[in-house]
């Protein structure tokens, strides 16, 4: 098989893995891990196109071995072949603040779902914490939702935040840097977060719904703190925390 020069490795399909050039000693450990994942059947979604993809797979696989929820999610996504690009409907909504968001028509309002009783039916604490925020206005509930989704260990968060930073990068390409900081109604973040969470739970692979969920929850927390005029949820009628 022809050797791709920029990558410095070649695929050996018969041996079920990745073999490195002998001069790239520093990366042999990564390749050994990848080969082992293939042999064990942990990774079985064909052969990645780039060495960067191999490193990503190994990173999340090693983290998953330590029981990191977000890493387990990412490894499962990689296996399913999740599209890592943000979808673009071509529809835009511009708010008075100047911020712009994709506005796909007919997708529903997930922030209006009765998440409290849904949480009871589905036995899902993420719904519980989001409902608590919607009703009481305490952003601690949104942090609890993220802890439930990502995990509570700092290393889990570092891994997740590095992954979510790609959402910010893609958003900057699609709109502008810090477009979201201009001011977007909080209900939009909650609506989008719940929708992405539902799609992630359903197993959709059309885009990275897990990191989109985290991005929207972080956006809701930041906006609550820095743009209180954008708060438009039921608790606004009383005192928010």
- Predicted TM-score (pTM) of this structure: 0.68
Share of the chain above pLDDT 90, in %: 37
Question: Residue 150 pLDDT more than 60?
Answer: yes
Per-residue pLDDT tens over the stretch 194-221:
999 999 999 888 888 999 999 999 999 9
Question: Residue 67 pLDDT more than 60?
Answer: no
**Per-residue model confidence (pLDDT) at position 37:** 67
**DSSP codes of every residue in 112-166:** GS-HHHHHHHHT-HHHHHHHHHHHH--THHHHHHHHHHH-SSHHHHHHHHHHHHH
Q: How confident is the model at residue 107 (pLDDT cuts 50, 70, 90)?
A: confident
For residue 10, the tally of other CB atoms under 10 A from its CB is 13
């Amino acid at each position: 098989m022809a050797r791709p020069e920029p990558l410095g490795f070649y695929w050996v399909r018969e041996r079920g893995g990745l073999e490195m050039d002998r001069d790239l000693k520093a990366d042999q450990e990564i390749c050994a891990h990848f080969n082992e994942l293939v042999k064990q059947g942990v990774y079985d979604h064909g052969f990645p196109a780039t060495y960067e993809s191999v490193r990503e797979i190994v990173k999340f696989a090693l983290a998953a071995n330590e029981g990191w929820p977000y890493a387990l999610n990412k490894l499962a996504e990689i296996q399913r072949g999740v599209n890592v690009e943000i979808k673009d409907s071509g529809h835009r909504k511009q708010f008075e603040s100047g911020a712009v968001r994709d506005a796909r028509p007919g997708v529903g309002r997930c922030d209006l779902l009765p998440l409290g009783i849904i949480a009871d039916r589905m036995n899902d604490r993420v719904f519980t914490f989001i409902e608590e925020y919607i009703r009481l206005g305490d952003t601690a509930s949104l942090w609890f939702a993220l802890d439930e989704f990502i995990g509570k260990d700092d290393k889990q968060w570092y891994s997740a935040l590095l992954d979510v930073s790609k959402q910010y990068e893609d958003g900057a390409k699609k709109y502008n840097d810090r477009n979201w900081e201009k001011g977007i109604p909080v209900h939009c973040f909650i609506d989008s977060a719940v929708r992405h969470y539902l799609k992630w739970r359903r197993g959709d692979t059309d885009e990275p719904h897990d990191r989109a969920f985290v991005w929207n929850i972080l956006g809701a927390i930041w906006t609550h703190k820095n743009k209180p005029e954008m708060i438009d949820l039921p608790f606004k009628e009383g005192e928010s925390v």
